[in-house]
């Protein structure tokens, strides 16, 4: 893919993803735009399917939706509420740790700074960037497995890790697309450009994709 073709790619993606479900954490952000809920939903979403994340988030926020009220819940109660998300017991402890840190170090508010977010237990660059973009509407590039895979498959970047992909995209992706690239590619990656045997024969981006690393497709 030529760098200049990214504008056509994004236009096609915006149209294509309308037929599929919006990512769970994005839905949480659209319901009030609370950075705390975005942060906790991000934690729940790690190694967990969207459907499970959405249901677990709803159950947990029905019990508590602020750092202070969350910290009042026993760890076991949180664990039961978020089950069966991946590593639910570990995440229950992480959530309580995050809430304690927010109360002690940030007046109970989620920081809007990437470096500050990275100081929170269990928060990596993917989660921090998603909180910055979805929770605060500030520029950031959230790179998960879908963004990393697809951008390399296109030939738009040539990187080995999601973190390398993030910095490569920061250097070349137009700023207008920073806030939307994750939503577009997560949805596209879950439904069309899948990790194994992507649906290339019916892909609206086939004419723009270098198909790097694709040995089998449908």
Residues 6+ apart with CB under 8 A from 97: 121, 122
Write down the pTM of the prediction.
0.92
User: How distant, in Å, are the alpha carbons of 87, 122, 123 from that of 90?
Assistant: 5, 10, 13
Q: One of 37, 50, 91, 126 is an active-site residue; which one?
A: 126
Q: Which fold is adopted by the domain 31-136?
A: Endonuclease III; domain 1 (1.10.340)
What residues of the chain score a pLDDT lower than 70? none
Q: In whole angstroms, what is the distance from residue 52 CA to residue 135 CA?
A: 21
- What number does CATH give the domain 3-21+141-208? 1.10.1670.10
pLDDT in the model for residue 123: 97
pLDDT digits over 180-211, tens only?
Answer: 999 999 999 999 999 999 999 999 999 999 99
Question: Quick one: pLDDT at residue 172?
Answer: 97
Considering the candidates 65, 144, 160, 216, report the single residue annotated as catalytic.
Answer: 144
pLDDT at 32: 82
Please report the pLDDT score of residue 169 as a whole number: 98
Q: What's the pLDDT at 31?
A: 87
Show me where the domains of the chain are located: 3-21+141-208, 31-136
* 144 in catalytic set: yes
Q: Which tokens in the block code for residue 41?
A: 């939903």
């Amino acid at each position: 893919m030529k760098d200049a073709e990214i504008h056509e790619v994004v236009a096609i993606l915006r149209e294509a993803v309308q037929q599929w479900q919006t990512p769970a954490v994005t839905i949480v952000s659209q319901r009030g735009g609370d950075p705390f809920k975005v942060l906790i939903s991000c934690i729940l979403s790690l190694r967990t399917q969207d459907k499970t994340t959405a249901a677990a988030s709803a159950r947990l926020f029905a019990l508590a939706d602020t750092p202070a009220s969350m910290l009042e819940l026993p760890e076991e109660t949180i664990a039961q509420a978020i089950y069966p998300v991946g590593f639910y017991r570990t995440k229950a402890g992480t959530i309580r740790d995050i809430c304690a840190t927010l109360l002690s170090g940030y007046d109970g508010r989620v920081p809007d700074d990437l470096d500050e977010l990275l100081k929170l237990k269990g928060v990596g660059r993917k989660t921090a960037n998603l909180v910055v973009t979805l929770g605060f509407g500030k520029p950031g590039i959230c790179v998960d497995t879908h963004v990393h895979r697809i951008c390399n498959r296109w030939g738009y970047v040539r990187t080995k890790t999601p973190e390398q992909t993030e910095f490569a995209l920061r250097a070349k992706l137009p700023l207008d697309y920073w806030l939307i690239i994750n939503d577009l590619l997560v949805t596209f990656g879950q439904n069309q450009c899948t990790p194994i045997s992507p649906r290339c024969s019916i892909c609206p981006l086939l004419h723009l994709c270098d198909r790097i690393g694709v040995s089998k497709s449908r």
